[in-house]
Structure 1
Amino acid sequence: MNAVPAVSPAPTFSWRLAVLSIMIAVASLIAIYRTTAFGMVSIWWRSETFTHAFLVAPISLWLIWEKRKVLARFQPHPALWLALPLLMLAFVWLLGELAAVNAVTQLAFTAMLILVVPLVIGLPAAKQITFPLCFLFFAVPIGEFVMPKFMEWTATMTVLGLRASGVPVFQEGLQFVIPSGRWSVVEACSGVRYLIASMTVGTLFAYLNYRSIKRRLIFVGVSIIVPVIANWVRAYLIVMLGHLSGNELATGADHLIYGWVFFGIVILIMFAIGMRWREDDDDAALMTETVAASAAANAKSDAKNHGTAQGFVTATLLALSVALLPQGALKMLDTQNSGAAPTLSIQALAMGGWTQDAQSLSTWQPAFANPSVTEIASFSQGAQRVGVHIAYYRHQGYDRKLISSENALVKSGDENWLQIERGTHTVTLAGQSLVVQSAQLEQQRALTAEPVQLRVWYWYWIDGRLVSSDFLGKLWLALARLRGHGDDSAAVFMYAREASPGEADAALEKFLAEAGPALGTLLEQARHAR
């Protein structure tokens, strides 16, 4: 047996100063970025998908507490150079705030909280608690952006399972009909809740039970794949249970309860299997490695002699100074974003033989929340009719923004309209080639004698630029505000009835070719008329 060399723990007084500095810096960051912090907590409170986030910080603190003996062997010394990446994170937060992107601001804010720790105690000590610190990222309520894709996958796999079981299925987008009734895949059926919960618990399980990086990564990968597949099986079993019981079982709220019970069983089985490859700590080897690392780190740190009260105060003040910079920039930019409510004269699009109709083309409207102004009109030329819907935004924030995961052509619970197809279409607009988003909508058959289908094209207009990508749209919006151009932007929707294949696209192309220049002028005039 090898003897473990004794190493004197770091002075208690230094660690007390370091912990006090971290507490002051973290509390100050939360106060400075309270809007972001309160926004995270409000999402935890109202969304069942992220309720687990209330436990993330306590778990992280507990994991750090478990490392206290290891940390005591290191001398805390501020790493002031980390103020530079902290400044970069503050700039990222500013960009996210300008574009009103919760995911960006909350990720940047959490990363800033984490980076304060190595800034105050130094990298050698902070390295010992890398996982507990990074575990805080699970408190960020992010992941719902994948929900539409997961809903599509769930619907597709459920239909494939039903057909493989001999059940006839007619599918329209996220809804499908079987002989016993009609089913629909909604947000709660997407499996995103299961995925996020499984990733959080699975990552913690891997850290506590495995020592090798390889095994940890493998188990985390399994905790990602298993809930996705399990959700497909869950959806299939619930539909089959309802079908075989004459819709007496697994309907209403019961299918959600059954789903969580099934998910819990799957996770327990996954953990039981994972325990077979559990790796226990090699205490002697771990202690020897820790002692050697701490001795080398302390020798290097002692030479620099930064672990003083003055050093901790400097680190704390530096962190606070960096954190305040984007707040000042934001206030300055907000003064450039003033102005009255915009006005649009959509009648200007009636040109080139197109005339504005008194009657609306359709009852459909996109579910874009709280625009500054909305203009809707229908235009016709001979037998061709086209509808135009413009949602114009100014003074954007978290309660009013052009690009949001909440905005959609059709909500999943819409009782009037279904989105049965999505894609893209290349058009020429304002002299440039633009790939616009395209979708096929259908009115519920119960509401009309004949099914009404609409072909919809839509894109964004931001600071005079035309984009159809949500990511690029957010980026251009942030850059526009940084340049002092304000946040004026709009979502433009054009639609026509699809009575026969290609008929709607032909009408939309013709209208856009003749009214496209006037549309650009209309939006520019609204932006400059303040």
Structure 2
Amino acid sequence: MAKSMDANNIKSNLGGCWKFGAACWLLLIATLAVLLIVFSGGLASMMSAWRTDEYSHGYMLPLVTAFLVWQKSSLLAQMSFRSSWWGFLVTLLGLVFYVVGELGALYTIIQYGFLITLAGVLLALLGSRAFKIILPAYLVLLFTIPLPAFLYNNLSSQLQLVSSQLGVGVIRLVGISVFLEGNVIDLGNYQLQVVEACSGLRYLFPFSALGFIAAILFRGAFWKKVILFVSTLPITILMNSFRIGVIGVLVDRAGVGMAEGFLHDFEGWIVFMACAAILVAEMWLLARIGPDRIPFSEAFAIEGPEPLPEGATRARRRLTPSFYAVLPLLVMALGVSVMLPNRAEAELKRAPFALFPLDIGEWHGKVGVLESIYVDALKLDDYLLVDYSDAQGQTLNLYAAYYESQRKGASAHSPKSCLPGGGWRIQALSQWEVPGVNPDAEPFRVNRSLIQMGDERLLVYYWFQQRGRIIANEYLVKWYLFWDALTRNRTDGALVRITTAAPLGDSIEEKDQLVADFIRVIEPRLERFVPN
């Protein structure tokens, strides 16, 4: 019977077109419903991210995808759908992603698993030849998935620095004296900090999606499409830097109020619209160069599907055997989604950092407080900030940030990414081994950084204390985060940082010894506050 169905489905039907019957449409709708139910947790998290400025374009992208597929509907109607058993394998791979993501409660893996599974189902339904036609439309959906937190944080930090440097260049072009330290723009009477919201990501993500859609609609050579999409990154950076420069000029001329409120947001809209205008101008230019020159009205036109041939006969399309083969996989995944327990974080007993001792041997501490803007940005659950000093006048700053869960985007920020934003330049960065408290204890590896701003120099040691491990490598932290979420149902952990002044001319070796001795004193005490 399957062979007969497939034979009927792939017959030539010259001069005609295919259509699904009501029963097939009901089965296709039911399949989509099962997919949405199975991946509902990851999709809900993804839609939650769409409420932020950076990903607010996510609501529109499924509609854009549907429109782009509709544009190809007449072409698809004239093609026979052939079985593709690669679709079965791709669907299986996507469901493996789902199970792994659910067990580890890591939403990014679930979200990519959804797109992989959707691609597998479509490939099994359409066949490789027809799937290639809608592949560009399908790829638009990749822009709906938020970046993992550690990639987002690193990218944001780098863009803040680049935008600050270029923005200062704009300010200097109009003859204003300005000084830059990291992402802090010093205008003399005012200081502007290029915070995460000004990194340009709120323009880059929607604008890159817009550039990709424009490249799909643009009728030109493939290399022109690539240029359209790739150019969205430099356009965004340059225009965001120009915006920062203009704000700096307005603040210098009219006061700090020019950098706040409605005007600040309105300038952001102007920048995005200017980026879109540059993209249109770029398409106009690309349409007029090369051997495939055509008028801009023909190169970029948003049109509906081409009409079907006149007098075309309609043949009943049947679902392919490979599509029927993926249905049991989806049914099993639905059963797994019901049976899997709610993977809430394992309950842990820990003391709050408020109970951390201030008197440790000869060291005496004074508690500090983080500003609310930093607490909100770091998304931490508990923190410790203490300045310790001894009788000899030596001082150390201890900072620890604890996260009960690092599954939903909140995670420890590496000082390597954050310090340059404050104007500090990293003079040296390496990993050092610190001997354990007991002679027979294994030494543990930490990060050591020497940073400098002007004549001020600091020695910084930091590490990630995560579920019984002391880890220096931030990428290894991400691996253990995934592994422990999967095997131990835990993603808690902390960043621990110790800082001491290292004035120019002082012995760095003595400062290293001072910090190493302090680490050996506090490390056993941290276990009460950062569970193993």
TM-score scaled to structure 2, two decimals?
Answer: 0.74
Q: Secondary structure of the equivalent of 1:74?
A: coil
Aligned to 2:471: 467
Select between 148-157 and 170-179 the one with higher mean Cα deviation: 170-179
Instruction: Write the letter of the residue equivalent to 1:170.
Output: F
Question: Hey, what's the Cα distance between the residues in 2 that align with 1:9 and 1:404?
Answer: 60
Q: Secondary structure of the equivalent of 2:366?
A: coil
Residue-by-residue CA offset, 1:397-443 (whole Å, 9 max, x unaligned) = 428x544799997999xxxxx5645573432135557452758699x
Residue-by-residue CA offset, 1:138-187 (whole Å, 9 max, x unaligned) = 22233843222111111111223334543222223221222453222123
Would you say the 8 A contact 2:105–2:485 is kept in 1?
no
Residue-by-residue CA offset, 1:355-375 (whole Å, 9 max, x unaligned) = 342x3164458745343x656
Which residue among 158, 161, 164 is the counterpart of 1:152? 161
- Give the drift of 1:135: 0.9
Aligned to 2:346: 338
Aligned to 2:291: none
Aligned to 2:36: 30
What residue ranges of structure 1 are gaps of 5+ in the alignment?
282-286, 292-305, 413-417, 443-450
Question: Hey, what's the Cα distance between the residues in 1 that align with 2:249 and 2:405?
Answer: 49
Distance 1:364 1:150, change over 3 A: same
Q: Secondary structure of the equivalent of 1:316?
A: helix
Instruction: Write the letter of the residue equivalent to 1:24.
Output: A
Instruction: Write the letter of the residue equivalent to 1:466.
Output: I
Distance 1:250 1:390, change over 3 A: closer
State yes or no: 1:219 paired with 2:228.
Answer: yes
Aligned to 2:58: 53
Distance 1:108 1:204, change over 3 A: same
Aligned to 2:394: 384
Q: Secondary structure of the equivalent of 2:494?
A: strand
Question: Hey, what's the Cα distance between the residues in 2 that align with 1:109 and 1:234?
Answer: 37
Question: Hey, what's the Cα distance between the residues in 2 that align with 1:513 and 1:406?
Answer: 21
Aligned to 2:193: 184
Would you say the 8 A contact 1:29–1:320 is kept in 2?
no
Residue-by-residue CA offset, 1:260-285 (whole Å, 9 max, x unaligned) = 2244134214313413444659xxxx
Aligned to 1:76: 81
Distance 1:19 1:405, change over 3 A: farther
Would you say the 8 A contact 2:163–2:238 is kept in 1?
no
- Give the drift of 1:377: 5.6
Aligned to 2:281: 272
Select between 254-263 and 316-325 the one with higher mean Cα deviation: 316-325
Residue-by-residue CA offset, 1:299-320 (whole Å, 9 max, x unaligned) = xxxxxxx955876444223234
State yes or no: 1:109 paired with 2:122.
Answer: no
Q: Give me the CA root mean square deviation.
A: 4.3
Question: Hey, what's the Cα distance between the residues in 1 that align with 2:185 and 2:529?
Answer: 46
Aligned to 1:447: none
Aligned to 1:448: none
Question: Hey, what's the Cα distance between the residues in 1 that align with 2:161 and 2:134?
Answer: 39
State yes or no: 1:166 paired with 2:195.
Answer: no
Aligned to 1:130: 135
Question: Hey, what's the Cα distance between the residues in 1 that align with 2:235 and 2:213?
Answer: 16
Residue-by-residue CA offset, 1:481-523 (whole Å, 9 max, x unaligned) = 3344744533222233456676798546433246438726853
Residue-by-residue CA offset, 1:75-98 (whole Å, 9 max, x unaligned) = 334534433333333444555556
Question: Hey, what's the Cα distance between the residues in 2 that align with 1:73 and 1:464?
Answer: 61
Distance 1:390 1:270, change over 3 A: closer
Distance 1:253 1:13, change over 3 A: closer
Q: Secondary structure of the equivalent of 2:55?
A: helix
Distance 1:128 1:324, change over 3 A: farther
Residue-by-residue CA offset, 1:86-140 (whole Å, 9 max, x unaligned) = 3333444555556665544433333333332113332222111111111111222
Question: Hey, what's the Cα distance between the residues in 1 that align with 2:74 and 2:414?
Answer: 45
Distance 1:511 1:223, change over 3 A: closer
Aligned to 2:209: 200
**Aligned residue pair count:** 479
Question: Hey, what's the Cα distance between the residues in 2 that align with 1:348 and 1:405?
Answer: 25
Aligned to 2:523: 519
Residue-by-residue CA offset, 1:51-95 (whole Å, 9 max, x unaligned) = 222111111111111111111123334534433333333444555
Select between 79-88 and 67-76 the one with higher mean Cα deviation: 79-88
Q: Secondary structure of the equivalent of 2:464?
A: strand
Would you say the 8 A contact 2:346–2:489 is kept in 1?
no
Question: Hey, what's the Cα distance between the residues in 2 that align with 1:147 and 1:186?
Answer: 9
Aligned to 1:496: 500
Question: Hey, what's the Cα distance between the residues in 2 that align with 1:502 and 1:17?
Answer: 81
Instruction: Write the letter of the residue equivalent to 2:44.
Output: F
Question: Hey, what's the Cα distance between the residues in 2 that align with 1:106 and 1:82?
Answer: 18
Aligned to 1:175: 184
- Give the drift of 1:216: 0.7
Aligned to 1:458: 462
Question: Hey, what's the Cα distance between the residues in 1 that align with 2:124 and 2:165?
Answer: 49
Question: Hey, what's the Cα distance between the residues in 1 that align with 2:403 and 2:279?
Answer: 48
Which residue among 8, 13, 19 is the counterpart of 1:12? 19
Would you say the 8 A contact 1:169–1:177 is kept in 2?
yes
Aligned to 1:228: 237
State yes or no: 1:67 paired with 2:75.
Answer: no
State yes or no: 1:121 paired with 2:131.
Answer: no
Aligned to 1:302: none
Aligned to 2:332: 321
Would you say the 8 A contact 2:121–2:323 is kept in 1?
no
Distance 1:241 1:521, change over 3 A: closer
Distance 1:231 1:344, change over 3 A: closer
Select between 503-512 and 232-241 the one with higher mean Cα deviation: 503-512
- Give the drift of 1:24: 2.2
Aligned to 2:49: 43
Would you say the 8 A contact 1:461–1:491 is kept in 2?
yes
Aligned to 1:415: none
Aligned to 2:314: none
What residue ranges of structure 2 are gaps of 5+ in the alignment?
1-11, 288-293, 300-304, 310-316, 437-441
- Give the drift of 1:480: 2.5
Would you say the 8 A contact 1:250–1:258 is kept in 2?
no
Instruction: Write the letter of the residue equivalent to 1:12.
Output: K
Would you say the 8 A contact 1:376–1:390 is kept in 2?
yes
Q: Secondary structure of the equivalent of 1:48?
A: coil
Distance 1:393 1:155, change over 3 A: closer
